[in-house]
Structure 1
Amino acid sequence: MTSLLIFTDLDGTLLDHHTYSFEPAKSAMLSLKTFAIPCVINTSKTFHELLPLRKALNHLDPFIVENGSAVYIPKALGLDIQEPLEEAGDYWLKAFGPNREELIRMTENQRENFTFQPFSDMSVDQLIKLTGLSQENAKLAMQREFTEPMVWTDSNQALQAFRDYLEPYGVQIQKGGRFSHLMGKECDKANAMLWLKAQYQSQHLDDELITTMALGDGENDIGMLSKADIPVVIRSPVHAPPEVPNRSDAWLTDDYGPKGWAQAINQVLIKHGIL
């Protein structure tokens, strides 16, 4: 017997790249709730950004923030986690790396060597211009805890040099759709997914295996996709689909964004005899 566990990116995947709407995915999301299939958000967004979004989605499952930097588990779920976790209001928190202040201190002396603009230097208006977010959502996006996004305007060669500089400090750079993200070396969507999968597996009988399905559209989703049992690349209207190394079984949706997301979810539910 198997149980499905869904992990999904947001921007360009569950949310439309241009409008941030999830309307085309609503029916498929309802199907997951109906059949009690957890749908874990795995995103570059912050805890504070996700609070209103989770309310709009009626999302009650765990969620992973800032590109795998931390997992928040609602206490109301009653998951029996066999390791110490931090308390964060209504949630248990598992963090995988240093906090944002440490990252800023570590990189501020490199502004003369590389060309980039970190979030900490941006105004709310600048972020709105870059992303199209509302003023309220832009303010929430700037309330980061574990990562420091930046607009990288230097060369790819310089980016590799910056990565080499940060490596001894246990810090990495992951490229997303609009930003490059400074974060701890262990902060990764795949690591967070596998950790949470293990927590769910521990709640099940030995003969009931967890099958993970991951959906994403960007370079920062490749790790998550490569480690999932069912990897799904969501087609993007603005960039070529990322390649998932050594996974000839990765799906590429016909439709873009949330419409493609719903297509993939429905196909898996049919394949597993759920729909």
Structure 2
Amino acid sequence: MWHTKGKGHMTQPPFIVFTDLDGTLLDHHDYSWTAAQPALDHLAERGVPVVLASSKTAAEIAPLRAAMGLSACPAIVENGAGILPAHATPDDDAAPYARLRTTLDSLPAPLRKCFTGFGDMTDADVAQITGLAPDSAPLARRRAFSEPGLFDGDEAARKAFIAALTDLGVTARQGGRFLTLSFGGTKADRMEEIAALYGHPRTVALGDAPNDVEMLETADRGFIIANPSGTPLPKLAKEDGMTITRSKNPGPSGWNESILALTFP
């Protein structure tokens, strides 16, 4: 479909698609991408790489990527904190995650107790809170770079929590469901790295949550996918020029609708 060219570089495709998973390419409730299959097939026929970009771990994304037939494409993992190279399998270097957990535990107790991360949960807890199958929850907890979790406190406590982490070099990003902590890196940062591998073709991004905004705004063409289960994103600047548009349908149906109608301004 596409081939390596030189050291780690790829033949330039017509464009690259970067896509969020939960609530975007995957249905918010059952994690199915069936409704997007016609668009995925269309992209495959054109030789367009589809780069999965999610807060999910490499251990979660690798089997999904394979099931979708996208293993020839790199993937952005843990909200942009890392990249899973094409055809690669996840490794178990969790040193950044261990350092992140240590930093989190160093916060004052009143702030720390407001945040329940995946590292504070059991596999069963994660399965219940995410709707994942019991055998998938351990993969979600196999983290290397970041810590998603739930914040249980008022707005003042939330601001104090984020400010304290910022002072310690930790960023906090709100996704469609979880507040995710990391030592930096966004989906947009990784998007630029991956686009360089393919010779900087045009880029398309699809997402539904605040942690997708930089990716949507960086892309040549962006689609905000409707997610009735989440708070709609505020209007973005590039919507006025139709560089960014919104789907009518939610999840993979909206993804399919957007890709099949794709045009560049």
- TM category (shorter chain) comes to 0.7 to 0.9
Query: What residue identity is the alignment partner of 1:193?
Result: M
1:232-251 to structure 2, matched below 5 A, reads 232-243=223-234, 245-248=236-239, 249=242, 250-251=244-245
Deviation at 1:71, TM superposition (A): 1.2
CA distance in structure 1 between the aligned counterparts of 2:131 and 2:216, rounded to whole angstroms:
27
TM-superposition CA deviations, 1:215-270 (whole Å, max 9, x none): 001111111111111110000121232125322232110111000000111111xx
Alignment-derived partner of residue 212 in structure 1 = 203
Question: CA offsets, 1:64-108, max 9 Å, x none?
Answer: 000001112226xxxxxxxxxxxxxx3699x9x971100000011
Q: Shift of residue 111 of structure 1?
A: 5.7
Moved >6 Å (runs of 4+): none
8 Å CA contact 1:175, 1:220 repeated in 2: yes
Whether 1:63 aligns to 2:61 is no
Query: Mapping of 1:149-188 within 5 angstroms?
Result: 149-185=148-184, 187-188=185-186
Match of 1:6 among 14, 17, 21: 17
Paired residue type of 2:194: L
Q: Which residue of 2 aligns with 1:129?
A: 128
Q: Could you say which residue in structure 1 is the equivalent of 2:84?
A: 72
Give the TM-score taking structure 2 as reference length: 0.86
Secondary structure at the aligned position of 2:253 is classed as: helix
CA distance in 2, matches of 1:245, 1:100: 32
Aligned to 2:198: 200
Q: How far apart are residue 177 of structure 1 and its match?
A: 1.6
Q: CA deviation at 1:55?
A: 2.0
Distance in 2 (CA, whole Å) between partners of 1:242 and 1:162 is 23
RMSD: 2.2
Deviations along 1:17-70, one digit per CA (max 9) or x if unpaired, are 011111001111011111100110000000111122112111121100000011
Preserved contact between residue 226 and residue 244 of structure 1 (Cα < 8 Å): no
Question: Percent identity at matched positions?
Answer: 34
Once residues 74 and 55 of structure 1 are traced to their aligned partners in structure 2, the CA distance between those partners, rounded to angstroms, is 10
C-alpha separation in 2, matches of 1:70 and 1:25:
26
Under a length normalisation based on structure 1, what TM-score does the superposition of the two structures give? 0.83
The 5-angstrom pairing of residues 72-151 of structure 1 reads: 72-74=84-86, 90=88, 99-110=96-107, 112-114=109-111, 115-151=114-150
Whether the 8 Å CA contact 2:35–2:252 is kept in 1: the answer is yes
Give yes or no for contact 1:128–1:138 (8 Å, CA) kept in 2.
yes
- In structure 1, the residue matched to 2:188 is 190
Aligned counterpart for 1:25 among listed residues 12, 16, 36: 36
The one-letter code sitting in structure 2 at the alignment partner of 1:62 is P
Q: In structure 2, how many angstroms separate the alpha carbons of the residues matched to 1:224 and 1:156?
A: 26
Give the Cα–Cα distance (whole angstroms) in 2 for the partners of residues 164 and 239 of structure 1.
Answer: 25
Q: Residue 98 of structure 1 contacts residue 183 of structure 1 at CA under 8 Å; is this kept in 2? A: no
Number of aligned positions between the proteins: 246
The question of whether the paired residues in 2 share the 8 Å contact of 1:40 and 1:62 is answered with yes
Contact 1:177 1:218 (C-alpha < 8 Å) held by counterparts: yes
Unpaired runs of at least 5, structure 2: 1-11
Q: Distance in 2 between matches of 1:123 and 1:91?
A: 24
The CA deviation at 1:2 is 8.1
Letter of the structure 1 residue corresponding to residue 182 of structure 2: M
Cα offsets for 1:155-177 (capped at 9, x unmatched): 23322222221223321001112
Question: Secondary structure at 2:80's aligned position in 1?
Answer: coil
SS at match of 1:215: strand
